[in-house]
Each structure stands twice: as C-alpha cells, then as structure tokens.
C-alpha cells in the first residue's frame, strides 16, 4: 500500500466517524424527547405506571451536559432520596467523565449545597431530593440539550439562521422560546 491508499482509508474512517457521531446526537435528542413525553403522559395515568424507571439502559449523556444538570437528572430519575456516593455512582453510570475532579464527592457536596441555597434540592434524613423548582430546572435543562448543536431547533421554533434560542420562560403558562436577533 502506498500513501494514497492510507489517505483514502483515513478519509473513509473520518467520514464514517462523523456520520456515527451525528447519528448518536440524533438518537440522544430523540431519547430526551421520548423521556419528556413519557414523563408528561405518566402524569395523566394512574400512579402505578408513573413510577416505572425510564433508565433500564442508560444512554450516553449529551457531550455538553454540565455537572449540575447531570446531578439534577440523577435526582429526577430516582424515586428515593440519594446520598452523594449514590449520586456519584449514577453520574459515572451515566457516562459523565469525573476524572477531572480530584475529590468527586466534595464537588457533588458543593453543587448540592448551591442547589439547596437556590431552592432546587432539599436534604432529608435519607438523602437529597429535588424540589418542584429543581424538577422544573431539570425539565429546562432537557430543553437546553435539544438543538444546541446547531443542526436542529427545538420543536415548535424556527431556525432561520438569523436568530438563536436564548432562554426558555416557564411560568404557569406553557414554556415559550425567547429569540434574540443577531
């Protein structure tokens, strides 16, 4: 084989890699949408079906998931209060890279303390749980993850290239996207 053959093989491998990454992003977006649909429909059904876990097979987190969002997601997915070691285990199982933190539990404790000050979590004797404000923030995090790679706008919004989604407002009314002109 000469260098041109190697270059062709390299180009083919890079093209396949990019295609697979795009497919994974699309799958992650679809999973988030389905989890939102399931959560919404579960609220309309009886309580027995609402407690079925959604994460039997845990998908990879989006590449842009922040630690705070991942902690909220873990607490949201749990039906019982969680202690920091359980949260750490959940973050690692979720695929979040925690190697950058020298003391992972300290980072989790600090994040929980900040979320408690913001009124998003509460500490019980058995561990930490999301408050209603925390559940709303978790749902807003999920909306942030849809369409943030620039390929697709969140459903119900236009992506004409002249504007971008800046924030999502959620009151007692349905959430609406707020756009800023470039």
Read off the pLDDT of residues 123-143 as tens digits, 9 standing for 90 and up: 999 999 999 998 888 888 766
Report whether 33 contacts 40 (CB < 8 A).
Answer: no
The better pLDDT of the pair 164, 52 is held by 52
Read off the pLDDT of residues 142-161 as tens digits, 9 standing for 90 and up: 665 544 444 433 333 333 33
- The span from the CA of 17 to the CA of 10, in Å, is 10
pLDDT at 143: 65
pLDDT at 179: 43
Grouping H, G, I as helix, E, B as strand and the rest as coil, residue 120 is coil
pLDDT at 25: 80
Containing structural domain, residue 22 = 3-149+158-181
Helix (H) or strand (E) holding 93: helix 84-94
Helical segments of 95-131, H only:
104-117
The alpha carbon of 131 is separated from its chain's Cα centroid by a whole number of angstroms, namely 18
**39-53, 54-68, 110-124: the lowest-pLDDT one:** 54-68
Phi/psi zone of residue 56: left (φ > 0), alpha (ψ -120 to 50 degrees), beta? alpha
Read off the pLDDT of residues 104-122 as tens digits, 9 standing for 90 and up: 999 999 999 999 999 999 9
**19-23, 86-90, 152-156: the lowest-pLDDT one:** 152-156
CATH number of the domain within which 136 lies: 1.10.10.10
């Amino acid at each position: 084989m000469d260098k041109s053959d190697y270059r062709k093989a390299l180009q083919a491998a890079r093209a396949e890699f990019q295609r697979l990454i795009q497919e994974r992003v699309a799958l992650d977006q679809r999973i988030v949408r389905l989890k939102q649909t399931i959560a919404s429909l579960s609220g309309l059904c009886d309580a027995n079906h609402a407690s079925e876990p959604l994460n039997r097979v845990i998908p990879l987190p989006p590449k842009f998931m922040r630690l705070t969002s991942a902690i909220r997601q873990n607490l949201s997915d749990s039906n019982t209060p969680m202690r920091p070691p359980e949260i750490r285990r959940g973050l690692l199982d979720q695929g979040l890279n925690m190697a950058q933190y020298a003391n992972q539990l300290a980072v989790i404790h600090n994040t929980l303390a900040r979320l408690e000050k913001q009124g998003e979590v509460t500490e019980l004797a058995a561990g930490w749980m999301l408050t209603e404000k925390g559940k709303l923030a978790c749902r807003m995090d999920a909306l942030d993850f849809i369409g943030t790679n620039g390929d697709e706008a969140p459903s119900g919004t236009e992506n004409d290239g002249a504007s971008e989604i800046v924030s999502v407002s959620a009151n007692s009314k349905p959430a609406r996207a707020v756009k800023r002109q470039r």
